[in-house]
Structure 1
Amino acid sequence: MKYGVELVISAIIFVILLFVVGYIIRKKYYKDIDQLEAVKMEIMNQPVAAELAKVKQLNMTGKTEELFEKWRKTWDEIVTVRLPHIDELLFDAEEFTDKFHFNKVKEVRAKIETSLSEIDKDIQEILDQLKELVESEEKNRTDFDQLKETYNKTKKRLITEGHTYGSALNRLDSMLKEVGEKIANYEQLTEQGDYLGARKVILSVADELKLLEEKLQKVPILLKECQTSIPSKLEELTSGYREMIEQGYVLEHIQMDQMMESIKKEMETYKELLSNTETEEVEKGLEEAKEKIESLYDLLEKEVYARQYIMQKNEETEAFLLKLVEENAKLLSETDQVQESYQLMENHLDIPVNLEKSLSQLVKRNELLKEKLAEDRSAFSFLGEELAEIESELEQLEKEQKAFAEHLQRLRKDELEAREKIADLKRKISEIVRLVQKSRMPGLPSDVESLYEQAGEQVEDVFRCLREKPLNMEMVQKYLYEATDTVDHLYNRMEEHIENARFAEQVIQYANRYRGQDKELRESLETAERAFRNYEYRAALEQAATAVEKIEPGALKRIEQMFNEELHV
């Protein structure tokens, strides 16, 4: 009995749960249906009827009437057929929801969403086309007035200024006529209600009028350049060319006649192109022609400057050349004299000889240049370049001459400096001997004695080189460098030994006060003294210092202070 009650309770709870879940799901579907209803109402409220009313105010003929009927028919179908069908589907969806037929609700909802999407798409297409039509009509009226005004101004300009366009006038008239035909076509399309087609014509007319205005602006200017400006420059250039030839200039290399003839033919070609209003190609061609004319002016100007340069520099360069020839002869003589006292390296001996060869070649080139100038058969620009090269090479040879002359003069100076330096080295060696004697060291380490002997030998080598005739300054400098390095090293080593010996002696004397008190100290001091007697001053210092620091920490610092004070007294 108890089991049956539990079963009934469970069944009741299950039914209640099903009812609650069904209620929740049904509520959700009701909400979805309400949203679809809202979307439908939003679509119905689109201002299609109002926009169609605007179109009625236009010229309802031809294309406009055809489009209007198409849009009205589509809108009527939406309002009378497709939207009512949506209402039926919405009603079905509510009924299926009431009966908990949720699968059928889903199918109906999908159909509604698809239909609403298609209807909205069609409405937007109608609105877009309506907007395009209305705006086209408005823009057409505004743009047409401006274009008509531009057209009339252009037509008037062609009539009043036709003489400035030359043979291009026919083509410009033809272009204007084509624009006029399109304007007439626009008016015809507008009367027929084809505002969209009329819009295309308006845009085309705007482009063509803009192009026509550009050509009207450019053609007279380009025509003037072809007929007047450039021919005038050619005449001026030809006149200057002939005048320069009469003045003795050689100008065959410029090929002036061929260039002038080529430019004249180009002008004829450009005038033909202008008759067809092909302004872009003519503009580019005229720029190139101007550049050619400028290059011809530059070439003639170059000849004038070259002649002036030759007139100014020819005698100066020849005088400069003769001066260097004389200087080189002196340099050769001075080299022979210097060789009696100094040995010169082979590469140095070659310098004045090579200079003489180079100068000889330049003399020949200068003579040839003078012959060409006398013949009057060469362009001044070519001769000027040759003269400039000769002058440049002479300047380089002058630098080489001066550098070698300074080298010769420096030999005597280097000899005197070497003698002064070797005398200083002898004095420094004497100073080393004095320091050793004054230090009262028992002796010197064998390596220092060897270094002392080496320094003496190297100083003697320098003296021996200085006594040779002719003098080899490179060997003198070499031996002098080696001797200086050895003497400096010897001096530094000697100062180090003297200082170590003095300090070691001070430390040993200070440590003697503890000799009788500590056996280990006594032994260390004996070792230090043996090292001192064997001239090992650094080892003696280290041994004594280590020993005294063990007995009296900090003693070494005090000894060092006293030692430094004695040195500076």
Structure 2
Amino acid sequence: MMVYGIISIIVLILILLVVGFIIRKKYYKQIDRLEAWKIDIMNRPVLDELGKVKQLNMTGQTEEKFERWRRSWDEIVTVRLPDAEDYLFDIEEYTDKYRFKRAKSEQEKLEKVLQEIEATIETILSELSELIGSEEKNKVEIEHLQKKYKSMKKHLLIHRHNYGDSIKQLETDLNAIAESFGEFDNLTANGDYLEAREIVIGLTANIAGLEEKIEKLPELITEIETVLPSQLKEIEEGKKEMLDKGFILEHLQLEKETQHLQKALGTYSDFLEKAEITEVENGIQEIKEKIEILYDLLEKEVHAKHYLQKHHGEISGLFEELKKTNEEIKTETEIVQESYQLLDGEQQIPHNFEKELSQLIKRYSILETKIMEDNSAYTILSEELKEVKQLIEKIGKEQQEFTEHLQTLRKDELEAREKVQELRRKIAEMKRLISKSNVPGLPFDYQSVFDQALEYIQDVFKSLNEKPLNMASVQNHLNNAVDTVEHLSGKTEDLIESVLLAEKVIQYGNRYRARYQKVAIGLQQAEEAFRSFDYRLALEEAATAVEAVEPGALKEIEKMLSEE
């Protein structure tokens, strides 16, 4: 037992040694990775890049940044990387002694240190690249900007007369740009490339803005000083001419609007003098929209006058037509009432037309007085006239619809009479078919539908002969008659088919009557049903008896009957 215990202890020790060896190997692998990372950081080309920049003549902001970069790199090399080396030594020592927890803690600290060093180096290299790039970009871009500057200066010199009072502001802007070029040269000569870069960026924006002003100002000046004042003058002249012709324009407040716009033009002239084009562009758009509205208002007055001249004279004639039509409707309604029963309220419709017409004539009389007085705006008068005309058209349409309704009553009566005659012809045709088919007698259910159809047809006739005629009642009886006759037509076809087929099946089954007692009994029952006019039962009994001895016989009989 004691031997087993010793063996177990030895096995456990061996397992622990193996596990420890595996963990140590894993940690040694991490130590190698961190060592390689540290060496890679030491080999970064920071010194070479600093050397390139050191050759430049640096002052001011550029020199301050260079000193900061150099101090940061010196700190990395003299302090932070040696600290990283100490961390590596501690991690290796803890790993050798199987103190894995401490080794992991030191490893995490070293990871953080190396990451911070990485970030610092990335910042240094990025800013160095930006500095070197700034010098190269500045040289290229400043030449391009100087060409633009010379071009703008030449353009303003030649076309100075196109810019009016704004030329002073444009020249001031040009002088400011020239001063910026001088400041750029000084900064570059002194080696302050980063501040020089900021000057280049500012020059790019200022020159672009000045180019836009130079391009747009002549057109804006023309709009403010020539085009828009001319349009306002045209509106004033149009207003004066229209007043001379008798137009009433006080409600438009044109004078107030034009004065407001003239004042706005003065304000935007001040903006032009300062070469502030954004405000002027927005203002011009707003003034144009308002001028367009004034043109529209004057044009509406002209159109309104033309409308009054065109339609004023025809209104009286339209009223006369409505009166005449209404008299005809009243007469027609009285005639129709003698023969037809009108719905509730229909008798009052001609009176309602007359009342509406009377009110509308009074309204038009007031309008006509205003037109004759000639002291109201044509737009107001024309709108009122349009409403009167629309109401006249509405009444005319309603009169036409009611007239058509009265005419429809007579039409519906004729159609109902024609339809009921057609139903009678269908009934007669069904009787002829039954007689021709030698049907011995009619089943009770068929006779019942037949009698009902005749009754409904008689109801239609009665309702058509009533005075006054109620077409709603006529239509109701007619619908019942049509449905019943259609149903009777279907039953007639079934009846004749059942009679003929039952006879054929009984005749066909007679060949089996003597040989098969079952067939004889079945045919006997079929014949009894036939004599009782139950042809469908007769067919079922006969077919069952024959099919028992000759399956498929019924289909053959139906085929023979169909061919006949």
TM-score (norm 2): 0.85
Distance in structure 2 (CA, Å) of the matches to 1:15 and 1:496: 108
Distance in structure 2 (CA, Å) of the matches to 1:255 and 1:498: 92
Distance in structure 2 (CA, Å) of the matches to 1:383 and 1:98: 110
Q: CA deviation at 1:295?
A: 0.7
Q: CA deviation at 1:33?
A: 5.7
Q: CA deviation at 1:323?
A: 2.2
The change in CA–CA distance for 1:35 and 1:482 in structure 2 (over 3 A counts) is closer
Q: Is 1:445–2:446 an aligned residue pair?
A: no
Moved more, 275-284 or 80-89: 80-89
Equivalent residue for 2:145? Answer: 147
Q: 1:144-543, aligned counterparts within 5 Å?
A: 144-155=142-153, 164-166=162-164, 168-169=166-167, 171-543=169-541
Give deviations 1:421-443, integer Å, cap 9, x for gaps: 33333333333333333333332
Distance in structure 1 (CA, Å) of the matches to 2:303 and 2:240: 17
Q: CA deviation at 1:256?
A: 0.8
Distance in structure 2 (CA, Å) of the matches to 1:456 and 1:22: 115
Q: CA deviation at 1:243?
A: 0.6
Q: Secondary structure at the match of 1:248?
A: coil
Q: CA deviation at 1:389?
A: 2.6
Distance in structure 1 (CA, Å) of the matches to 2:6 and 2:488: 125
Q: Secondary structure at the match of 1:504?
A: helix
Q: CA deviation at 1:245?
A: 1.4
Distance in structure 2 (CA, Å) of the matches to 1:422 and 1:9: 122
What is the letter of the counterpart of residue 352 of structure 1? P
What is the letter of the counterpart of residue 303 of structure 1? E
Distance in structure 2 (CA, Å) of the matches to 1:271 and 1:429: 98
Q: CA deviation at 1:19?
A: 9.8
Check the 8 A contact 1:63/1:192 in 2, yes or no. no
The change in CA–CA distance for 1:353 and 1:94 in structure 2 (over 3 A counts) is closer
What is the letter of the counterpart of residue 446 of structure 1? F
The change in CA–CA distance for 1:506 and 1:236 in structure 2 (over 3 A counts) is same
Moved more, 408-417 or 238-247: 408-417
Distance in structure 2 (CA, Å) of the matches to 1:143 and 1:131: 18
What is the letter of the counterpart of residue 125 of structure 1? T
Q: CA deviation at 1:288?
A: 1.5
Distance in structure 1 (CA, Å) of the matches to 2:552 and 2:271: 109
Distance in structure 1 (CA, Å) of the matches to 2:464 and 2:5: 137
Distance in structure 2 (CA, Å) of the matches to 1:14 and 1:421: 115
Q: Secondary structure at the match of 2:247?
A: coil
Q: CA deviation at 1:249?
A: 1.6
Distance in structure 2 (CA, Å) of the matches to 1:474 and 1:104: 107
Give deviations 1:239-270, integer Å, cap 9, x for gaps: 01111111122222211111112212222232
The change in CA–CA distance for 1:36 and 1:394 in structure 2 (over 3 A counts) is same
Q: CA deviation at 1:402?
A: 2.7
Moved more, 498-507 or 148-157: 148-157
What is the letter of the counterpart of residue 248 of structure 1? G
The change in CA–CA distance for 1:549 and 1:137 in structure 2 (over 3 A counts) is same
Q: Secondary structure at the match of 2:533?
A: coil
Equivalent residue for 1:125? Answer: 123
1:43 corresponds, among 38, 41, 44, to 41
The change in CA–CA distance for 1:529 and 1:130 in structure 2 (over 3 A counts) is same
Moved more, 102-111 or 202-211: 102-111
Q: CA deviation at 1:134?
A: 1.4
Check the 8 A contact 1:63/1:193 in 2, yes or no. no
Equivalent residue for 1:558? Answer: 556
Q: Is 1:134–2:132 an aligned residue pair?
A: yes
Distance in structure 1 (CA, Å) of the matches to 2:83 and 2:66: 25
What is the letter of the counterpart of residue 326 of structure 2? N
The change in CA–CA distance for 1:270 and 1:508 in structure 2 (over 3 A counts) is same
The change in CA–CA distance for 1:180 and 1:442 in structure 2 (over 3 A counts) is same
Number of corresponding residues: 564
Cα RMSD of the aligned pairs, angstroms, is 3.9
Give deviations 1:132-165, integer Å, cap 9, x for gaps: 2211222222233333444455555566656655
Q: Secondary structure at the match of 2:327?
A: helix
The change in CA–CA distance for 1:450 and 1:158 in structure 2 (over 3 A counts) is same
Distance in structure 2 (CA, Å) of the matches to 1:51 and 1:458: 115
Check the 8 A contact 1:26/1:97 in 2, yes or no. yes
Q: Is 1:54–2:76 an aligned residue pair?
A: no
Give deviations 1:404-463, integer Å, cap 9, x for gaps: 333333444433333333333333333333333333333222333333333333333333
The change in CA–CA distance for 1:29 and 1:443 in structure 2 (over 3 A counts) is closer
Q: CA deviation at 1:78?
A: 4.9
Q: CA deviation at 1:292?
A: 0.9
Check the 8 A contact 2:62/2:193 in 1, yes or no. yes
Check the 8 A contact 1:507/1:544 in 2, yes or no. yes
Moved more, 130-139 or 234-243: 130-139
Q: Secondary structure at the match of 1:46?
A: coil
The change in CA–CA distance for 1:470 and 1:119 in structure 2 (over 3 A counts) is closer
Distance in structure 2 (CA, Å) of the matches to 1:419 and 1:21: 114
Check the 8 A contact 1:445/1:535 in 2, yes or no. yes
The change in CA–CA distance for 1:508 and 1:39 in structure 2 (over 3 A counts) is same
The change in CA–CA distance for 1:223 and 1:436 in structure 2 (over 3 A counts) is same
Q: Secondary structure at the match of 1:242?
A: helix
Moved more, 25-34 or 511-520: 25-34
Q: CA deviation at 1:195?
A: 1.6
Moved more, 391-400 or 126-135: 391-400
The change in CA–CA distance for 1:472 and 1:126 in structure 2 (over 3 A counts) is closer
The change in CA–CA distance for 1:468 and 1:143 in structure 2 (over 3 A counts) is same
Q: Secondary structure at the match of 2:198?
A: helix
Give deviations 1:33-54, integer Å, cap 9, x for gaps: 6555544443343223332232
What is the letter of the counterpart of residue 225 of structure 1? E
Q: CA deviation at 1:113?
A: 5.5
The change in CA–CA distance for 1:20 and 1:403 in structure 2 (over 3 A counts) is closer
Q: Secondary structure at the match of 2:246?
A: coil
Distance in structure 2 (CA, Å) of the matches to 1:92 and 1:449: 121
Equivalent residue for 1:3? Answer: none
Moved more, 504-513 or 11-20: 11-20
Moved more, 513-522 or 259-268: 513-522
Check the 8 A contact 1:318/1:366 in 2, yes or no. no
Distance in structure 2 (CA, Å) of the matches to 1:93 and 1:293: 86
Q: CA deviation at 1:388?
A: 2.5
Q: CA deviation at 1:101?
A: 9.2
Q: Secondary structure at the match of 1:512?
A: helix
Distance in structure 1 (CA, Å) of the matches to 2:344 and 2:75: 115
Distance in structure 1 (CA, Å) of the matches to 2:307 and 2:89: 108
Check the 8 A contact 2:224/2:268 in 1, yes or no. yes
What is the letter of the counterpart of residue 272 of structure 1? D
Give deviations 1:17-44, integer Å, cap 9, x for gaps: 9999998888777766655554444334
Could you list the runs of 5+ residues in structure 1 that have no partner in the other structure? 1-5
Check the 8 A contact 2:58/2:192 in 1, yes or no. no
Moved more, 219-228 or 328-337: 219-228
Check the 8 A contact 1:528/1:543 in 2, yes or no. yes
